[in-house]
Amino acid sequence: MAVTNEKSVSEAIKYRRSVRVFKKEPIDEQKVKDCIHLATLAATSSNMQLWEFYHIVSPDSIKEIAAASFDQNGAKTAQQLVIVVARKDLWRKRMHANISFLKSQFGNKPEAEYSKREKFAMNYYKKIIPTIYIDFFGIFGMIKFIAFQIIGLFQPIYRQARQSDMRIVAHKSAGLAAQNFMISMAAINYDTCPMEGFDSVRIKKILHLPSSGEINMIIGCGLRDEQGIYGERFRIPFEEVYHKI
């Protein structure tokens, strides 16, 4: 990896701020790409990796995306943009990728020779993942939801199996990856601004995304201007959000 961390994890977390105005100073495209690579190492539900990353470096494309983002300063002054996309619709492709990886890890031997642990891992992707993700206009999801609630009266069970639930799962994983990216950028003194204010239909058209792809967030990238941070960091007192049990 070309990226050299100049800050510790704690230092990078403290350094990261949502920068609304960036300097008119270029940043290294390869370093940003390396940080996107680090984003892909984030934790992800069932290792499904239902995400994609669009690295926008063309000034014309940045201008077009900024316009679709209501001309926010964090977009229109950015030197580059990274758009994180949740791709729940790719679950079958990602499932098969995991199965192929597991087979290679198990030595490509016949399934009859699998250990108990190996059988469990393979069955997880061949049986459990399809059970959770397969749906038909929300009908199967509702049936699963009701069935799981009934079973849950007698034993612990995973209850979030509707389309809306799996959509949330995909966005949570995409959000984890986005945070990995922003912390990685902060570690090399690059700044970011995560944005949720945009016209998703227009952004999808610009990226040529299918309707099933969903924009998780747009991240402006650059070097912070003196006026780029609008104020001191505010956080709710830690005692209000920390609960020890």
Q: What is the pLDDT of residue 2?
A: 43
- Tell me whether residue 71 is in a domain: yes
Please tell me whether residue 104 adopts helix, strand or coil conformation. helix
Nearest alpha-carbon partner for 33 in 166, 190, 143: 190
Task: Tell the burial category of 225 from Cβ atoms under 10 Å away from its Cβ (0-12, 13-18, 19+).
Answer: middle
Domain count across the chain: 1
Let me know if residue 165 belongs to a domain.
no
The pLDDT value recorded for residue 3 is: 44
Would residue 125 count as lying in a domain?
A: no
What is the average pLDDT score of the chain?
Answer: 95
Residue-level pLDDT at 114: 96
Non-local (6+) Cβ contacts of 221 within 8 A are 22, 27, 32, 78, 79, 80, 81, 82, 185, 190, 191, 192
DSSP 111: G
Question: What confidence score (pLDDT) does residue 215 get?
Answer: 98
Residue 114 lies in a domain: no
110: number of CA atoms within 13 Å, CB side? 2
Residue 145: pLDDT over 60: yes
Q: For the chain, how big is the Rg over CA atoms in Å?
A: 21
Instruction: Locate 147 and state its tokens.
Output: 């069935």
Residue at 40 is within a domain: yes
Least reliable range by pLDDT among 61-70, 94-103, 137-146: 137-146
Bridge partners for 84 per DSSP: 53, 217
- Confidence check: pLDDT of 66 > 70: yes
Residue 236: pLDDT over 90: yes
* Residue 177: predicted pLDDT: 98
Nearest of 51, 79, 54 to residue 66 by alpha carbon: 79
Closest CA to 158 of 178, 177, 132, 181: 132
Which DSSP string corresponds to 35-60?
HHHHHTTS--GGG---EEEEEE--HH
Mean pLDDT of 38-42: 98
Residue 68 CB coordination number (10 Å): 18
pLDDT in tens, 157-189: 888 888 889 999 999 999 999 999 999 999 999
**Does 163 fall in a domain?**
no
CATH of the domain at 19: 3.40.109.10
Other C-beta atoms within 10 Å of 231: how many? 6
Res. 4: pLDDT tops 50? yes
- pLDDT-based confidence at residue 191 (cuts at 50, 70, 90): very high
Does position 1 have pLDDT exceeding 70, yes or no? no
| Placement of tokens 């014309």 in the chain | 60
What integer pLDDT is reported at residue 204 of this predicted model?
Answer: 98
Q: 192 in a domain, yes or no?
A: yes
How much of the chain exceeds pLDDT 70, in percent? 98
Which class for 195: exposed (0-12), middle (13-18), buried (19 or more C-beta within 10 A)?
buried
Q: What pLDDT sits at residue 142?
A: 85
Q: Containing domain of residue 60, as a range?
A: 9-90+171-224
pLDDT band at residue 23 under the 50/70/90 scheme: very high
Nearest to 176 by CA among 24, 48, 55, 78: 48
Q: Does residue 207 fall inside a structural domain?
A: yes
Residue 5: predicted pLDDT: 55
What is the token pair recorded at 225? 């201007």
| pLDDT, position 137 | 80
Per-residue pLDDT at 136: 82
